[in-house]
Protein backbone atom coordinates (compact mmCIF):
# COMPACT_ATOMS: atom_id res chain seq x y z
CA UNK A 1 0.00 0.00 0.00
CA UNK A 2 1.20 3.54 -0.77
CA UNK A 3 2.47 5.55 2.15
CA UNK A 4 0.74 8.52 3.71
CA UNK A 5 3.53 10.52 5.26
CA UNK A 6 2.70 13.34 7.62
CA UNK A 7 4.17 15.34 10.46
CA UNK A 8 3.43 14.36 14.04
CA UNK A 9 4.03 17.39 16.24
CA UNK A 10 4.38 16.76 19.94
CA UNK A 11 3.13 19.90 21.68
CA UNK A 12 3.76 18.29 25.06
CA UNK A 13 7.49 18.25 24.28
CA UNK A 14 7.87 21.53 22.37
CA UNK A 15 9.47 24.30 24.43
CA UNK A 16 9.10 26.99 21.73
CA UNK A 17 12.83 27.33 21.02
CA UNK A 18 12.26 27.91 17.25
CA UNK A 19 15.18 25.62 16.32
CA UNK A 20 13.04 23.83 13.68
CA UNK A 21 11.97 27.12 12.13
CA UNK A 22 15.42 28.64 11.98
CA UNK A 23 17.31 25.53 10.92
CA UNK A 24 14.89 25.11 8.00
CA UNK A 25 15.15 28.77 7.07
CA UNK A 26 18.91 28.62 7.15
CA UNK A 27 19.17 25.29 5.29
CA UNK A 28 17.01 26.55 2.44
CA UNK A 29 18.52 30.05 2.49
CA UNK A 30 15.13 31.74 2.65
CA UNK A 31 14.68 35.49 2.34
CA UNK A 32 14.45 37.48 5.63
CA UNK A 33 10.69 37.32 6.22
CA UNK A 34 10.11 33.87 4.82
CA UNK A 35 9.59 30.70 6.83
CA UNK A 36 8.64 27.20 5.71
CA UNK A 37 7.94 26.26 9.31
CA UNK A 38 6.65 28.51 12.04
CA UNK A 39 6.42 28.19 15.80
CA UNK A 40 3.50 29.96 17.46
CA UNK A 41 2.17 30.09 20.99
CA UNK A 42 -1.17 28.44 21.69
CA UNK A 43 -3.91 29.79 23.95
CA UNK A 44 -3.32 28.89 27.59
CA UNK A 45 -6.66 27.15 28.00
CA UNK A 46 -5.71 24.48 25.46
CA UNK A 47 -6.34 21.47 27.68
CA UNK A 48 -8.49 22.72 30.54
CA UNK A 49 -5.95 23.77 33.09
CA UNK A 50 -3.67 26.62 31.98
CA UNK A 51 -0.53 25.49 30.14
CA UNK A 52 2.16 27.30 28.23
CA UNK A 53 2.21 25.56 24.87
CA UNK A 54 3.77 26.08 21.46
CA UNK A 55 3.05 24.50 18.15
CA UNK A 56 5.33 24.14 15.16
CA UNK A 57 3.53 24.02 11.80
CA UNK A 58 4.53 23.81 8.15
CA UNK A 59 2.81 22.52 5.05
CA UNK A 60 0.34 19.82 6.04
CA UNK A 61 0.82 17.76 2.88
CA UNK A 62 -2.94 17.50 2.68
CA UNK A 63 -4.88 14.59 1.20
CA UNK A 64 -6.88 17.05 -0.89
CA UNK A 65 -4.48 19.95 -1.34
CA UNK A 66 -6.26 23.21 -2.21
CA UNK A 67 -2.96 24.64 -3.47
CA UNK A 68 -2.78 21.95 -6.15
CA UNK A 69 -6.34 22.60 -7.28
CA UNK A 70 -5.82 26.36 -7.51
CA UNK A 71 -2.52 26.44 -9.37
CA UNK A 72 -3.04 27.34 -13.06
CA UNK A 73 0.25 25.85 -14.27
CA UNK A 74 0.08 22.57 -12.35
CA UNK A 75 3.19 23.32 -10.30
CA UNK A 76 1.98 21.07 -7.47
CA UNK A 77 2.14 17.29 -7.40
CA UNK A 78 1.26 14.86 -4.66
CA UNK A 79 3.76 12.04 -4.54
CA UNK A 80 2.89 8.40 -3.95
CA UNK A 81 4.09 8.77 -0.37
CA UNK A 82 1.72 11.73 0.19
CA UNK A 83 4.25 14.57 0.07
CA UNK A 84 2.90 17.64 -1.75
CA UNK A 85 5.73 19.05 -3.86
CA UNK A 86 5.85 22.52 -5.40
CA UNK A 87 7.95 22.87 -8.55
CA UNK A 88 9.45 26.36 -8.56
CA UNK A 89 10.55 26.05 -12.18
CA UNK A 90 6.93 25.78 -13.26
CA UNK A 91 5.59 28.51 -10.96
CA UNK A 92 4.68 31.87 -12.54
CA UNK A 93 4.12 33.62 -9.20
CA UNK A 94 0.36 34.28 -9.42
CA UNK A 95 0.04 33.57 -5.67
CA UNK A 96 -3.30 31.83 -6.06
CA UNK A 97 -2.06 28.81 -4.09
CA UNK A 98 -1.32 31.05 -1.12
CA UNK A 99 -4.89 32.35 -1.21
CA UNK A 100 -6.44 28.91 -1.59
CA UNK A 101 -4.48 27.08 1.13
CA UNK A 102 -6.54 27.33 4.35
CA UNK A 103 -3.28 27.43 6.31
CA UNK A 104 -1.73 30.20 4.20
CA UNK A 105 1.30 27.96 3.73
CA UNK A 106 2.71 28.91 0.29
CA UNK A 107 4.64 32.17 0.61
CA UNK A 108 5.84 34.58 -2.02
CA UNK A 109 9.59 34.79 -2.44
CA UNK A 110 10.10 38.49 -3.22
CA UNK A 111 13.44 37.89 -4.93
CA UNK A 112 12.60 34.87 -7.08
CA UNK A 113 9.03 36.18 -7.52
CA UNK A 114 7.74 32.65 -7.09
CA UNK A 115 6.01 30.78 -4.31
CA UNK A 116 7.82 28.67 -1.80
CA UNK A 117 6.73 26.03 0.67
CA UNK A 118 7.86 23.07 2.77
CA UNK A 119 8.73 19.96 0.76
CA UNK A 120 9.07 17.72 3.82
CA UNK A 121 12.71 17.63 2.62
CA UNK A 122 11.70 14.81 0.26
CA UNK A 123 15.12 14.77 -1.37
CA UNK A 124 16.66 14.06 2.04
CA UNK A 125 14.01 11.46 2.87
CA UNK A 126 14.69 9.76 -0.48
CA UNK A 127 18.30 9.15 0.54
CA UNK A 128 17.45 7.98 4.03
CA UNK A 129 18.01 11.27 5.87
CA UNK A 130 15.55 13.04 8.13
CA UNK A 131 13.97 16.41 7.30
CA UNK A 132 15.99 19.29 8.74
CA UNK A 133 13.33 20.30 11.30
CA UNK A 134 13.01 16.72 12.56
CA UNK A 135 16.77 16.38 12.84
CA UNK A 136 17.40 19.71 14.55
CA UNK A 137 14.64 19.72 17.17
CA UNK A 138 16.48 19.26 20.49
CA UNK A 139 13.40 17.68 22.07
CA UNK A 140 12.50 15.37 19.19
CA UNK A 141 9.10 16.99 19.10
CA UNK A 142 8.61 16.55 15.33
CA UNK A 143 8.38 13.16 13.67
CA UNK A 144 7.47 11.85 10.25
CA UNK A 145 4.79 9.19 10.49
CA UNK A 146 3.26 6.93 7.86
CA UNK A 147 -0.40 7.37 8.81
CA UNK A 148 -1.37 4.36 6.71
CA UNK A 149 0.62 2.23 9.15
CA UNK A 150 0.06 3.86 12.52
CA UNK A 151 -2.44 6.36 13.80
CA UNK A 152 -1.01 7.39 17.15
CA UNK A 153 -3.95 7.01 19.49
CA UNK A 154 -2.95 9.98 21.61
CA UNK A 155 -2.89 12.40 18.67
CA UNK A 156 -5.45 14.89 17.38
CA UNK A 157 -5.81 16.41 13.94
CA UNK A 158 -6.70 19.91 15.02
CA UNK A 159 -5.59 22.51 17.56
CA UNK A 160 -6.97 26.01 18.17
CA UNK A 161 -5.91 28.43 15.40
CA UNK A 162 -5.76 25.50 12.96
CA UNK A 163 -8.28 25.76 10.07
CA UNK A 164 -11.11 23.25 9.68
CA UNK A 165 -9.45 19.98 8.60
CA UNK A 166 -12.46 18.91 6.54
CA UNK A 167 -11.46 21.41 3.81
CA UNK A 168 -8.19 19.83 2.67
CA UNK A 169 -7.71 16.85 5.02
CA UNK A 170 -4.26 17.80 6.31
CA UNK A 171 -2.06 14.90 7.38
CA UNK A 172 -0.38 16.71 10.28
CA UNK A 173 -1.33 15.40 13.73
CA UNK A 174 -0.57 16.81 17.15
CA UNK A 175 0.03 15.37 20.61
CA UNK A 176 -1.52 17.68 23.17
CA UNK A 177 0.12 18.48 26.51
CA UNK A 178 -1.24 16.68 29.56
CA UNK A 179 -3.36 18.89 31.77
CA UNK A 180 -1.29 19.96 34.75
CA UNK A 181 -2.40 19.45 38.36
CA UNK A 182 -4.07 22.47 39.82
CA UNK A 183 -2.56 23.40 43.12
CA UNK A 184 -4.79 25.39 45.38
CA UNK A 185 -3.14 27.33 48.15
CA UNK A 186 -5.15 28.28 51.17
Partner 1 sequence: MHDLPLVIFTILSQLVIGGFVTLWWLDRKKCPISRQSGLMISISLVVLGAISVLISLLHLGHPFEAYRAILNIGVSWLSREVTFYGMFVGLSVLYTWFWLKDEAGKRSLIGGIASAIGVIAIFSSAKIYMIPAIPAWNSVTTLFSFFLTSLILGPLFVGAFLAIRGELSANISGISITALIAAAIVMVVYFSSLQGGLPQAVEAARLTTHQLLFWIRLFTFVIAFAILTFTFKNQYKQNNIIYSLVFVILFVSEFLARFQFYETAIHL
If the CB atoms of residues 1 and 111 are measured against partner 1, the closer one turns out to be 111
Q: Are 79 and 85 in contact (CB under 8 A)?
A: yes
Shortest separation between residue 123's beta carbon and ligand SF4, angstroms: 17
Strand segments, DSSP code E, in the chain are 5-10, 38-41, 54-57, 76-78, 84-86, 107-109, 114-116, 142-146, 155-156, 173-175
> CA torsion, points 176, 34, 24, 45, in degrees to nearest 10?
-10
Per CB under 6 A, 106 contacts ligand SF4: yes
Residue 61 binds which one of ligand SF4, partner 1, none, with CB within 5 to 8 A depending on kind?
ligand SF4
DSSP symbol at 47: B
Q: Which partner in ligand SF4, partner 1, none is near 7 (CB below 5 to 8 A by kind)?
A: none
Site string for ligand SF4, 52-81 (x = CB under 6 A): -------xxxx--xxx--xxxx-x------
Angstrom distance (rounded) from CA 137 to CA 156: 21
Q: Is 85 in the site for ligand SF4 (CB under 6 A)?
A: no
Residues that bind partner 1 (CB under 8 A): 66, 68-74, 90-96, 99-104, 108, 112-114, 163-164, 167
Separation between Cα atoms, residue 62 and residue 155, nearest integer Å: 17
6 binds ligand SF4 (CB under 6 A): no
Amino acid sequence: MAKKLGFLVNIERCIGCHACEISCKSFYQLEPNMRRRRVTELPEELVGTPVRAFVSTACNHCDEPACKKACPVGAYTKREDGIVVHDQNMCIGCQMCGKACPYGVPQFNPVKKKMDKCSMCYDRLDVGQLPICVEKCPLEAIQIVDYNEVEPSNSVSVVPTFADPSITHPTTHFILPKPGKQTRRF
